[in-house]
């Protein structure tokens, strides 16, 4: 049986007037948006943490410290894509994902299908493998807050080591050296190589 890994992510953001509301990468018409250093997408942040956690790769603050102005107003799908690169590097792919959103307003049920489609598109998996559920914060006294909980299941990509090893054996070592140097010297525009040094600044303003 192929190796399986489970991941869990949580996030919360306060509602704030005057900013767009984005949940699961979907722009939603509402009187308020979510405050945050990035676009405040509470669901994509919890998904990012679930993916990173599943392969023990740290958390969103490790990769995207809120102290870094590059992530100001950032589209949070960038964070998810980086986490997807991490799980692929570790040799895993997503089986399915489930989530619970906890918020008073707006009503999620009428748009849950659209959020699901958008999340599936970002994760590059079929929508049938994405669960979007919503609750109101009954008795929690947190009406001005949006919360997201996410679990994700990963499976090992079968036979990944074999093709990798075959390619490595065929490569001329000097040629490989050139390739590696080019990668190292390349300007840091590649999201997968940003913030690799753990900052452990987990004050989650992202
Ligand atoms: Mg966040």
Check if the beta carbon of residue 83 is closer than 8 Å to that of residue 52. yes
Q: What is the CA(2)–ligand 1 centre distance, in A?
A: 32
Which CATH entry fits the domain spanning 4-159: 3.40.50.300, 3.40.50.360, 3.30.1330.50, 3.20.19.10? 3.30.1330.50
Check if the beta carbon of residue 41 is closer than 8 Å to that of residue 80. no
Q: What is the CA(166)–ligand 1 centre distance, in A?
A: 41
Question: Could you report the per-residue pLDDT of 112-126, keeping only the tens digit for each?
Answer: 999 999 999 999 999
Q: What is the CA(45)–ligand 1 centre distance, in A?
A: 5
Phi and psi, residue 81, nearest 5°: -65, -40
Q: Where are the domains of the chain?
A: 4-159
pTM of the model: 0.79
Question: Could you report the per-residue pLDDT of 153-199, keeping only the tens digit for each?
Answer: 999 998 766 555 454 455 566 666 665 665 555 444 434 444 443 43
């Amino acid at each position: 049986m192929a190796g399986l890994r489970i991941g869990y992510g949580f996030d919360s953001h306060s509602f704030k007037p005057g900013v767009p509301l984005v949940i699961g990468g979907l722009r939603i018409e509402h009187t308020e948006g979510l405050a945050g250093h990035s676009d405040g997408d509470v669901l994509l942040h919890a998904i990012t943490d679930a993916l990173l956690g599943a392969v023990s790769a740290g958390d969103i603050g490790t990769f995207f410290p809120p102290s870094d102005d590059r992530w100001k107003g950032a589209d949070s799908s960038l964070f998810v894509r980086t986490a997807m690169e991490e799980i692929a590097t570790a040799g895993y792919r997503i089986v399915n994902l489930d989530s619970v959103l906890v918020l008073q307003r707006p009503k999620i049920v009428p748009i849950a299908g659209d959020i699901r489609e958008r999340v599936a598109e970002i994760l590059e998996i079929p929508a049938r493998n994405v669960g979007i559920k919503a609750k109101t914060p009954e008795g929690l006294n947190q009406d001005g807050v949006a919360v997201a909980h996410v679990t994700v299941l990963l499976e090992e990509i079968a036979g990944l080591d074999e093709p990798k090893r075959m390619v490595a054996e065929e490569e001329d070592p000097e040629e490989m050296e050139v390739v590696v140097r080019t990668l190292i010297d390349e300007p840091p525009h590649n999201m997968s190589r940003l913030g690799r040094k753990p900052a452990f600044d987990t004050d989650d303003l992202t």
